[in-house]
Amino acid sequence: MTKLPHVTWLRAFEAAARHSSFSSAAEELNLTPAAVSQHIRLLEKHLGVELFRRLPRSVMLTDMGHAYALPIRKAFTDMQGATSGLFAIQRKRRINIRTSVTYGSLVLAPKLAEFSALHPDVELHLTTAVWSDRLDDARIDIDIRYGTGDWEDPHIWPLSYDTGIVVCSPDHARRFGPQPDIAAMVQERVVLVMGSEVEWQRLGAHFSLDLPVPHHITKADSSMMALQLLVGGGGAGIIHENFADRYIAQGTLVSPFPYRLPIHEAYFMIIRPDALNRPEICAFRDWLISQEGTAEGAS
């Protein structure tokens, strides 16, 4: 088996073959024409064949030169592609974001293309968690968390204050007639989100409604799961308006009542203290706050 030629000889050969000129190859490679000519002579000696015909004012590939130039050019192209694909991405700035599955899927993800267009050199890595009350993973830069905001983290920004609305599938609503009775709907079947089980009682108290205890309850550990249960006809539920809007626009859910229940909890952005000195983190923080329209200061 013939020993592989030196890569410097191959680079000179590939450039000269592409330009049909030692001088142009030398200019591209930042070498002298004499150096290029020497590299190619060493390559020809190594291979035992002539790759170029030297003419008075130019050079031409021999048949063997033509045959050799194609795989050599492909090899350099493949190496360049592999290098760019595997290692260029590491030169990008990276933000690791953790959020709830519902907020991440329905609110954050649809907006991220805009941030990426503004900051193409920043790579976003998203993970989800059903419940989160502390930055317990050193790899997470930004935690988007649901609650009252009374955590001990030093850098917290409120993102959204929302209202809860009653939603159900169109078929389920039709079962209660053209003007459905909310008490009858609650009594039959409801879907509850774990951690928000008292929302029906709050709705009744807030709007002075006499709501009964539901006969059948299904619980979901996230609003996303609750929404899917409701789409499937699982009953009625109180869901954040911000989450339900897309389903209502698509016609898979309806909101048959005018009630808008203020939600005590909200979504907050928590940033790890040692990440705040990174420009990409501050850029994402400012962008997301502007998207949510809640520019109150950090606590």
Count how many Cα atoms sit within 13 Å of the Cα of residue 101 in the half-sphere of its side chain.
Answer: 11
Q: Is residue 84 part of a domain?
A: yes
More confident residue, 296 or 278: 278
Cα(first)–Cα(last) distance of the chain, in Å? 70
CATH number of the structural domain spanning residue 75: 1.10.10.10
Helix (H) or strand (E) holding 84: helix 63-87
Q: Is residue 2 part of a domain?
A: no
Domain assignment of residue 187, given as a range: 163-262
Q: Give the mean model confidence (pLDDT) for residues 80-99.
A: 79
189-248 tens-digit pLDDT:
999 999 889 999 999 999 999 999 888 999 999 999 999 999 999 999 999 999 999 999
pLDDT range class, residue 82, cuts 50, 70, 90: confident
Please state the domain count of the chain: 3
- What is the pLDDT, as a whole number, of residue 297? 41
- Chain centroid offset of residue 196 CA: 28
Looking at residue 254, the DSSP 8-state letter turns out to be B
Cα–Cα distance between 80 and 87 in angstroms, integer?
A: 11
- Chain centroid offset of residue 185 CA: 38
Q: Is residue 41 part of a domain?
A: yes
pLDDT at 298 over 50: no
Residues 203 and 121 in one domain: no
Give the pair of three-digit tokens for residue 126. 């998203």
- What is the pLDDT, as a whole number, of residue 140? 93
- What is the pLDDT, as a whole number, of residue 85? 72
Q: Give the mean model confidence (pLDDT) for residues 90-96.
A: 80
CATH number of the structural domain spanning residue 104: 3.40.190.10
Q: Is residue 202 part of a domain?
A: yes
Per DSSP, the three-state class of 140 is coil
55-71 tens-digit pLDDT:
888 899 999 999 999 99
Q: Which residues touch 164 (CB under 8 Å, ≥6 apart)?
A: 199, 203, 238, 239, 240, 241, 260, 261, 262, 263
108-144 tens-digit pLDDT:
999 999 999 999 999 999 998 877 777 777 889 999 9
- What is the pLDDT, as a whole number, of residue 90? 55
Q: Is residue 258 part of a domain?
A: yes
Looking at residue 108, the DSSP 8-state letter turns out to be I
Contact in structure between 204 and 231 (CB atoms under 8 Å): no
Helix (H) or strand (E) holding 76: helix 63-87
pLDDT at 89 over 90: no
Per DSSP, the three-state class of 27 is helix
pLDDT range class, residue 3, cuts 50, 70, 90: confident
